[in-house]
A and B are shown apart, each in its own frame.
Chain A
Amino acid sequence: GENVEQHPSTLSVQEGDSAVIKCTYSDSASNYFPWYKQELGKRPQLIIDIRSNVGEKKDQRIAVTLNKTAKHFSLHITETQPEDSAVYFCAASIKGSGGGADGLTFGKGTHLIIQP
């Protein structure tokens, strides 16, 4: 089955600096790669996603890049702010019969700390 590795497990950056979180996946059939943000005690919330036919996607301060050949994708957050502090999870779709994201395999998470 799919295996997703995520690094680093903890990332501390100064407010205003950029943060980069990297993930690799194993199943070349995966075609959907979301990133979720989870604050303490809350549910995961989607912040950005990318499909396999796209190499990069940007939404304001957040961007995701995908390298299908190398099977890795990254989350980039620029001009970090205190409210960006949270745990971030990458995920890759599990191929199923439905044609869409029939379940996700998640990385183990990155605890992002924004230092004031």
Chain B
Amino acid sequence: DAGITQSPRYKITETGRQVTLMCHQTWSHSYMFWYRQDLGHGLRLIYYSAAADITDKGEVPDGYVVSRSKTENFPLTLESATRSQTSVYFCASRPGGSGASYNEQFFGPGTRLTVL
């Protein structure tokens, strides 16, 4: 599982500040994802990326920005953090392709973000 890492693991910030959460994977997976996990909501997809420089919105993209200049990195930025963005954020990745072996998503350890 050391193949996908997230940093920082814990972050406390204030309303209005910009925050960037980092995600790095060493498998050269084509696809990368960002989810947020909140009690009562399960995991919800924020953004995903099919390859470098290709990103797409998920279910809850408002207030977030992503970029993917390199295959192995997929940072998530909260441009002006709000209290409602307090959550646990998980990054995930999977190989490219459409066969049965390509579907499994591997999750990072998560970042617990608190916005005061």
Contact = CB atoms under 8 A, between A and B. Distances in A.
Contact of A100 (B41, B45, B59, B102): B102
A61 interface: no
B110 A43 contact: yes
Contacts, number: 75
Contacts of B104: 34, 46, 49
Contact of B105 (A42, A99, A101, A109): A101
A51 interface: yes
A103 interface: yes
Interface string A96-114: 1111111111111100000
Contact of A43 (B96, B97, B100, B107): B107
Interface residues of B, number: 32
A64 interface: no
Interface in A59-116: 89, 91, 93-94, 96-109
Interface of B: 1, 30-31, 33, 35, 40-45, 48, 50, 56, 58-59, 90, 94, 96-100, 102-110
Given A42-B109, A97-B50, A108-B41, 17 more contacts: A34-B104, A43-B90, A43-B108, A44-B90, A45-B107, A49-B104, A51-B103, A89-B42, A93-B103, A96-B50, A98-B96, A99-B98, A100-B31, A100-B94, A104-B33, A106-B43, A108-B40
27 contacts: A34-B103, A43-B1, A43-B90, A43-B107, A43-B108, A43-B109, A43-B110, A44-B43, A44-B90, A49-B104, A51-B100, A51-B103, A94-B58, A96-B48, A96-B56, A98-B96, A98-B98, A100-B94, A102-B31, A103-B33, A103-B45, A105-B59, A106-B42, A106-B43, A108-B40, A108-B41, A109-B42
